[in-house]
Amino acid sequence: MVREREQNGWPGVPILVFLLLLGVGLFANVVRLIAVRAHPGLIALTVVLSFLTWVFLMAGLFIVNPNQARVLQLFGSYVGTAKVAGLRWVNPFYSKKLISLRVRSFESSHLKVNDKDGNPIELGAVVVWKVVDTAEATFEVDDYVAYVRVQSESALRNAATSYPYDSHDEPDVISLRGSTAVVAEHLKQEMQQRLQKAGVEVVETRISHLAYAPEIAAAMLQRQQAGAIIAARTRIVEGAVGMVEMALASLSAKGVVHLDEERKAAMVSNLLVVLCGEKAAQPVVNAGTIYQ
């Protein structure tokens, strides 16, 4: 396994000044040979050699932008990585591959997978990543950008099969819909484990798309609606029972009216109908006695 090591070369500005002065000197030497009427062959050879030498030395200059790096190789051997921003100079025989160290992000395609319960769902994620080891990114994988995308989608598929889509009101169950922070952290760790060999650090992952597959979406929507209705009805009944208990206790404590068990049952029934009914109750005035 190839590990990154820094090799920033020489500062480029002094080298550039030296090469410019060298170019002036080489040009002056050619002018001197012409002035003394040297042999034309010697003049031509001097011009060619001077120009090739100057161009060869200038080829060692390169620029490193902030949050970028250059991987240096000499005839296939890894020499080091230049990370210091600015104009630099190295051996002109070195090849200089540009690697970006900036934070990048991409959104995966909407993958169709089965959750832990076997329900088909559609899932997508946003992955934020950056290169932290240029040597591994260059030499350990063929194309680190494509590798990140493929391995991220593979990790996303695996994470989706580890959790159910919904917990269905079970608080101890971690679900894709109800525990997005936990799922995102699990996804980040799994992606980091897969991408570490490529010199990549996963900065953040987020679920960007989550839905049931179209073939079961309608049925699952009805299930969710039924669950919501049951939960709402349960809350209404619990509140109504509490209000009835409070009404009976208040009437008994204040001695407003004394009811036998049968009348209490009738009152409870009427109050529950009024409190739990979907429509407003119609008032009925009883002009007689309640013991008719």
Strand-by-strand arrangement of the 95-100 sheet = 77-82, 68-74, 95-100
Three-class DSSP category at 283: coil
Quote the pLDDT of residue 279: 64
What distance in Å separates the CA atoms of residue 156 and residue 120, rounded to the nearest whole number? 14
Query: Which residues are 200's β-sheet partners?
Result: 131
Spatial neighbors of 61 by CB under 8 A, at least 6 apart, are 12, 15, 16, 19, 87, 88, 89
Helices vs. strands in the chain: H and E counts, helices first: 7, 10
**Residue matched to tokens 């992606």:** 191
Which residues of the chain, if any, have pLDDT below 50?
none
Beta carbons of 68 and 42 less than 8 angstroms apart: no
What distance in Å separates the CA atoms of residue 130 and residue 133, rounded to the nearest whole number? 9
What distance in Å separates the CA atoms of residue 22 and residue 19, rounded to the nearest whole number? 5
Spatial neighbors of 248 by CB under 8 A, at least 6 apart, are 264, 267, 268
Cβ neighbours of 118 (radius 10 Å): 8
Count Cα atoms within 13 angstroms, Cβ side, for 31. Answer: 6
What distance in Å separates the CA atoms of residue 144 and residue 140, rounded to the nearest whole number? 9
What distance in Å separates the CA atoms of residue 63 and residue 195, rounded to the nearest whole number? 29
Quote the pLDDT of residue 217: 62
Quote the pLDDT of residue 81: 94
Query: Which residues are 205's β-sheet partners?
Result: 127
143 φ/ψ angles, rounded to the nearest 5 degrees = -140, 100
> Is the whole-model pTM more than 0.85?
no
Alpha helices in the chain (DSSP H): 12-35, 40-58, 134-139, 144-160, 180-195, 214-254, 261-276
Quote the pLDDT of residue 280: 64
Count Cα atoms within 13 angstroms, Cβ side, for 54. Answer: 18
Q: What is the DSSP-derived secondary structure letter of residue 172?
A: T
Quote the pLDDT of residue 171: 67
Query: Structure tokens of 223?
Result: 């299930």
Quote the pLDDT of residue 244: 76
